[in-house]
Chains A and B, each alone.
Chain A
C-alpha cells in the first residue's frame, strides 16, 4: 500500500491513518459524484495536519468519512490502530469520545433551544459521567478553557452570542470528553478576521494544554500555513501535494498549490515582481470541473498552464521529492 502513498509514515506511529479513502454519492440519473477518490494521509500524535482546497475538492467529505458520519465506499481509516470502517455502531460510539469535531457554522452547531450549560454538559450526560456536581465542575472548566465564564454564560441560549462566542462554546463541548483528536472543519471561515485570530490562537493554546492532535480543514492556505505542521492540498477528490507547512510555502511543487499561493489576497499594496511573475506563470484557468465527471488522467490538467498530453492519459502517482514532501504531478515545479 505504501507504494501508492509514499508520504505515509510508520503505521504504529500514527494516531490516525487514512489509506486510499474513496467516497461516492449517488446523483440524479444513476450518476456518481466522485467526492473523494483515493485519499491517503496520516497524523502523528500532537501534530496538526491541514487539509486545504477549494469548494468541491472533497475536504469536508473526507473529514466526515474519517468520523464515519459518511460511509466510505472503500479504503481504510485507522484510529489508534482500530479500523473504523469495519467497526460496529457500538464500538464506533465508544471510540468517538476520543475523536471530536467542530464545524464551520458556529450558530448551526448549537441547539437554539438548549442552554449553554446543557449543551456543554450533554456529552457527559450521554456517557453518565459523574454526578451533577462533578459535571458542573467539568463544564465550568471547559468553558473557562475557551475563555467563557460559567456564571455569566451558563444559563443563556446560543442566540444571545456572537459567532465567535458560539464557536468557543462548540469547542468547549468538543473538549469536555477529553478527546485525543479534534477534527476542525473550516472552524474560522464564518468569522470576521479579528475574531478568526482569537479562535486560531485559542486552538493553538488548547492543543498544547490538552495535548490534542488536530486535523484542520480550510480553504484558506494562509490560515492553514499558520496553524499546521503538515499540509495536504486537495483538488477534485485527490491529494495533489503533501508537505511540511513551511516547505509547502517555500518550495511547492504542484502547479495547483502554486496557483492557490498566488491567489491569496495579500494585504500588501506592493506585492513585488516575484509574486506578479508567479501569478502570470501558474495562474489557473477557469474553474473547477464537476466531481460528477472528473477529467481523465490528472484532474487538474484542464486548468493547468503546464499540462501536456501525458497528463490526460496517465493518472499521476504521488512521488517523494524530499523528506515528507510528496507530489502527484507528471511535471512538478522544481524551482522555488
Chain B
C-alpha cells in the first residue's frame, strides 16, 4: 500500500525513538539524603521505642537528676533524673502522630474541596474559597486554643485542632493546581472523547495534583509539628508526665539556667525534624516541577 510507504518515509526510525531514553534521572543531592535519613531515624526510633534498650520516659531510676551525658544516659537526665534520650524519643511519637495525622486529614478534606472548587469553578468555587479564607482568617493559635479548651487536651483533639488549621491552605493549594491543570488541553481532550466528569477528574486532573499536594503536605507536617509544640508548651496538648517535645521544652524553660539540656535536646530534635521536612518537601516539589517542564 502506497500510504504506508509514504508514512514510513516521513518517519524514519530516528524520529520514532525518544531521545532521552538513557538519560539519568535528576539527582536530589546529598543534603536531601541526609535530611531523609534523619526523618527515617526519628520515625523508626519513635515506632520501635518500646523495643529499644531505653528506660521508660517516666522512670525516675537511680540516676543523678540533671546529670550530663553518660554511658547509661546518652543525653543525660532531667531535673527529676529521667532519661532525656528516652523522653525525646517517646516525645517524638506525639509530634509525629499529630503532625502526620492532622495533615492526612487536612489533605483528604482539603484535597476533595480543592478539586471540586478548581474543576467546577462558579458558585462551588466561590463557596469553598470563601470558607477556606474564613478558616485562614482566624489566628491559628487562637483557633487551636479554642478547640482544645472546648474539647479537652488529648491526642485526638489536638490532631483535630491542627487539621482544622491545615485545611484552609491545603484547599487553596489544591484548588490552584486543579485550576491550572483543568485549563490544559488534555483535560478538554478527555471530555471530548466522552469521559464522564468523575473519570476526567480522577484520571486526568488528580494524578497531576497529587505530587505537588504531597510535597506541600510534607512541609505542612513541619508546620503542624511546630503548632503542636506551641499548644503543648501552653499545656494544651498531651499532658505531663507523658512527654512531648513541646511540654519538655516548657518544663526545661523553668530550669534553663541549671539544666539547659532539658530544653535543648527536644528543641534540637524538633529543629532538625522541621528543617528536614521542609527540605525534603521542597526538593521533591522541585523534582516534580522539572519533570513537568521537561519540554
Check if B7 sits within 8 Å of A114, measured CB to CB: no
Interface assignment of B189: CB less than 8 Å from any CB of chain A: yes
Assuming the A-B contacts A101-B192, A110-B186, A177-B193, are A201 and B10 also in contact, with contact meaning beta carbons closer than 8 angstroms in the complex?
yes
Interface assignment of B18: CB less than 8 Å from any CB of chain A: yes
Check if B10 sits within 8 Å of A147, measured CB to CB: yes
Complex Cα–Cα for A103 and B295 (A): 16
Check if B193 sits within 8 Å of A96, measured CB to CB: yes
Complex Cα–Cα for A201 and B193 (A): 25
Assuming the A-B contacts A147-B10, A165-B18, A166-B295, are A100 and B208 also in contact, with contact meaning beta carbons closer than 8 angstroms in the complex?
no
Complex Cα–Cα for A164 and B196 (A): 29
In chain B, positions 100-157 with a C-beta closer than 8 Å to chain A are none
> What band does the interface of chain A fall in when counting residues whose beta carbon is under 8 Å from B?
35 or more
Contact digits for B21-57, partner A, Cβ 8 Å, 1 yes 0 no: 1000000000000000000000000000000000000
Complex Cα–Cα for A110 and B208 (A): 12
Check if A108 sits within 8 Å of B3, measured CB to CB: no
Q: A residues touching B (Cβ–Cβ < 8 Å)?
A: 67, 69, 93-94, 96-97, 100-101, 103, 105, 107-114, 119, 122-123, 126-127, 145, 147-149, 152-153, 156, 158-166, 170, 173, 177, 198, 201-202, 205, 208-209
Check if B192 sits within 8 Å of A198, measured CB to CB: no
Chain A interface mostly helix, strand, loop or mixed? helix
Within the complex, the shortest CB–CB distance from A227 to chain B, in Å, comes to: 15
Contact digits for B59-101, partner A, Cβ 8 Å, 1 yes 0 no: 0000000000000000000000000000000000000000000
Chain B residues whose CB sits within 8 angstroms of the CB of A163 once the complex forms: 295
Complex Cα–Cα for A302 and B21 (A): 54
Interface assignment of B253: CB less than 8 Å from any CB of chain A: no
Q: B residues touching A (Cβ–Cβ < 8 Å)?
A: 3, 6-8, 10-11, 15-21, 184-186, 188-196, 199, 203-204, 207-208, 291-292, 294-295
Tell me the nearest residue of chain A to B187, going by C-beta: A111
Check if A103 sits within 8 Å of B18, measured CB to CB: no
Q: Which of B20, B189, B208 is within 8 Å of A160, CB to CB?
A: B20
Tell me the nearest residue of chain B to A201, going by C-beta: B10
Chain B residues whose CB sits within 8 angstroms of the CB of A97 once the complex forms: 193-194
> Can you offer 21 A-B residue contacts whose CB atoms are under 8 A?
A69-B191, A103-B185, A111-B190, A111-B203, A114-B207, A122-B193, A122-B203, A126-B193, A126-B194, A147-B8, A147-B11, A147-B16, A149-B16, A152-B18, A159-B292, A159-B294, A162-B295, A198-B11, A198-B15, A202-B10, A209-B3
Check if A109 sits within 8 Å of B189, measured CB to CB: yes
Check if A126 sits within 8 Å of B7, measured CB to CB: no
Tell me the nearest residue of chain A to B197, going by C-beta: A89
Complex Cα–Cα for A126 and B204 (A): 13
The 6 A-B pairs of least Cβ separation, nearest first, read A147-B11, A159-B294, A123-B193, A160-B18, A103-B185, A113-B207
